[in-house]
Amino acid sequence: MKVKAKKHLGQHFLINKKISEQIVESLDLNKNLHIIEIGPGQGALTQFLIKKTNQIILIEIDQECIEVLKNKFQKTKIIYEDILKIDLDILKIDSYSIIGNFPYNISSQILFKVLEHRNNIHQVVGMFQKEVADRICSKPKSKKYGILSVLMQAYFNCTQLLDVYPEDFRPKPKVNSSVIKLTRNNTAKLKCDHKQLTEVVKLAFGQRRKTLKNALKKITNLEELNLTKIMNSRAEELTVSQFIELTIQIFKDKTR
Ligand code: SAH
């Protein structure tokens, strides 16, 4: 380990090579697909990735890590940037997958960026704080089912691959971790508008203990819409397709 870990960048370097290899192995690879690694650090995953493909783009925010990476991976494209600020469209690649042991402090923001670019992304294999990974993959009627579950599952088949424990990192994180795989489904376009769905889901789960009738009062009257069946349900009881149907109903007569 050459770099002293910086806490504010969420640096927890993976030291278990078996796990690094397993993460890389679980990514689908084909020759037309570019792979973007977010936060490669000192190359724990990259060292296995370069054995499988040379279409790799590394995006790392830490100058010190950049130096290490440039030394180790001289033929690889390395971008010194903040993943939240970089415009991925400038990379001019139509189809790519994302891999990373993500910095936990910005994991939700990374997922919203993934959603933004969903039509260019084939797959995401990533390490998250276990609690976040559980939330993404949760099904209805669970306390963990929430905004990210609905939005990610609307576009991706989400599966949990393996749990990883603090001992496998330096320095050790305070939380457990989990690797998940998100594979883009066949729905090119949802039956409803993405922004409207996001609005409904955020409002519904914003007050998750209230009935949908009350939680969505600001934008609709479910009684008037004749949605009496679901108006007394709570957000966590609705499946992804029910949320999509609900969004269609709410916005069908509104011109906005
Ligand atoms: N993949 C490496 C490092 C994981 S730690 C390993 O498994 O060992 C998370 C990494 O993300 C660190 O290298 C950190 O510098 C980087 N990082 C943190 N915030 C970032 C951001 N906004 N954009 C790009 N990289 C970031």
Q: What are 89-113's pLDDT values in tens digits?
A: 999 999 999 999 999 999 999 999 9
CA of 144 to the centre of ligand 1 (A): 26
Cβ of 99 below 6 Å from ligand 1: no
Name the β-bridge partners of 124. 98, 182
Residues of the chain with CATH 1.10.8.100: 194-251
* Architecture of the structural domain at 194-251: Orthogonal Bundle (1.10)
| pLDDT band (50, 70, 90) for residue 254 | confident
Residue 163 in tokens:
């749990």
pLDDT score for 2: 83
| pLDDT band (50, 70, 90) for residue 172 | very high
Q: Is pLDDT above 90 for 228?
A: no
Please give the Cα distance from 246 to 251 (Å, whole number): 9
Q: Scanning the structure block, which residue is given the tokens 């609709």?
A: 220
What is the value of pTM for the model shown? 0.95
Q: What is the pLDDT of residues 132-154, one digit of tens each?
A: 999 999 999 999 999 999 999 99
What are the DSSP calls for 111-167, one per residue? Answer: HHHHHHTTTTEEEEEEEEEHHHHHHHHPPTTSTT--HHHHHHHHHEEEEEEEEE-GG
Residues of the chain with CATH 3.40.50.150: 7-184
CA nearest neighbour of 87 among 130, 54, 116: 116
Rounded to 5°, the CA angle 80-163-167 comes to 75
What are the DSSP calls for 235-246, one per residue? Answer: GGG--HHHHHHH
pLDDT score for 255: 56
* Architecture of the structural domain at 7-184: 3-Layer(aba) Sandwich (3.40)
Pocket test for ligand 1, best of 1, 8, 11 (most atoms within 8 A of CB): 11
Q: What are phi and psi of 128, to 5 degrees?
A: -130, 165
Cβ of 192 below 6 Å from ligand 1: no
